[in-house]
């Protein structure tokens, strides 16, 4: 298990993300590390009774480039405050999709899930996130921050939410570093602090009022 700490910012248009990808100040902090681009397609699941949601957990399976799947479990925790989220996180590689929760590989993720759901309960898809991510690895004064520029959509039922988002994840250094960076970006660009995670936005498409 790891503790993920990140700040999410919402962009009104794709042009803002493009401007960030060409920002000289940000590129200088990359110190020559090239921007990486990846396509992320993930489906979020729960039980028919939504046991994971009741236990403040979110589970997804995401297709990996080059094949394979990555399973991810996060604690949804409390509401986001000024875009900041601090959540427990577990990850596992899968060779194929699973149909029942008991089919997860042995380990902390499986233990956490089976403490909340019936082992033989089926996985019910909730919604899909489909976006292109550009990743900038920023380093300065002992701080390491992964900046992700996400452009795509969230789909649930026949509803679509267009996604244009910036994520700042602290990899090393002080928590104040990502806060200062986020505050600086808000002053220079038409960004706002996100009020909901991708999971929360997907739930909203389903008509579920959950401030996560």
Domain boundaries 2-205, corresponding CATH code? 2.40.320.10
Contact in structure between 70 and 91 (CB atoms under 8 Å): yes
Measured distance CA(193)–CA(165) in Å, rounded: 10
Question: Taking residues 54-59, what's their average pLDDT?
Answer: 94
pLDDT tens track for 19-40: 999 999 999 999 999 999 999 9
Candidate from 84-93, 170-179, 195-204 with smallest mean pLDDT: 84-93
Widest CA span in the chain:
52
Contact in structure between 124 and 106 (CB atoms under 8 Å): no
Check residue 187 and give left, alpha or beta (phi > 0: left; psi -120 to 50: alpha): alpha
Going by DSSP bridges, is the β-strand pair 57-63/143-156 parallel, antiparallel, or unpaired? unpaired
Is a pLDDT exceeding 60 seen at residue 69? yes
pLDDT tens track for 135-176: 999 999 999 999 999 999 999 999 999 999 999 999 999 888
Is a pLDDT exceeding 70 seen at residue 79? no
Going by DSSP bridges, is the β-strand pair 124-140/84-94 parallel, antiparallel, or unpaired? unpaired
Is a pLDDT exceeding 70 seen at residue 86? no
**What is the per-residue pLDDT for 67?**
76
Contact in structure between 152 and 132 (CB atoms under 8 Å): yes
Angstrom CA distances, 33 to 17, 28, 137, stand at 18, 10, 7
Mean residue pLDDT of the chain comes to 92
**What is the per-residue pLDDT for 205?**
95
Is a pLDDT exceeding 90 seen at residue 124? yes
Report the percent of the chain where pLDDT is more than 90: 80
The burial of 106, by beta-carbon neighbours within 10 Å (0-12 exposed, 13-18 middle, 19 or more buried), is given as exposed
Check residue 78 and give left, alpha or beta (phi > 0: left; psi -120 to 50: alpha): beta
Task: Give the ranges where the chain is alpha helix by DSSP (H).
Answer: 14-21, 24-29, 51-54, 108-114, 175-188, 198-205
């Amino acid at each position: 298990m790891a503790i993920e700490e990140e700040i999410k910012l919402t962009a009104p248009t794709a042009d803002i993300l493009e401007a960030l990808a060409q920002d000289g100040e940000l590129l200088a902090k990359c110190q020559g590390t090239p921007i990486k681009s990846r396509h992320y397609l993930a489906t979020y699941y729960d039980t028919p009774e939504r046991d994971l949601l009741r236990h403040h957990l979110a589970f997804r399976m995401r297709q990996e480039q080059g094949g394979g799947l990555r399973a991810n479990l996060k604690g949804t925790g409390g509401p986001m405050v000024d875009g900041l989220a601090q959540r427990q996180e577990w990850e596992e590689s899968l060779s194929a999709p699973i149909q029942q929760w008991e089919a997860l590989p042995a380990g902390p993720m499986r233990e956490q899930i089976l403490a909340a759901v019936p082992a033989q309960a089926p996985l019910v898809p909730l919604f899909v996130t489909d976006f292109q991510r550009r990743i900038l690895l920023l380093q300065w004064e002992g701080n390491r921050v992964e900046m992700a520029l996400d452009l795509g959509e969230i789909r649930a039922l026949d509803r679509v939410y267009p996604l244009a988002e910036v994520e700042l994840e602290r990899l090393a250094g002080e928590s104040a570093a990502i806060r200062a960076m986020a505050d600086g970006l808000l002053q220079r660009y038409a960004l706002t602090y996100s009020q909901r995670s991708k999971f929360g936005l997907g739930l909203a498409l389903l008509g579920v009022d959950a401030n996560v």
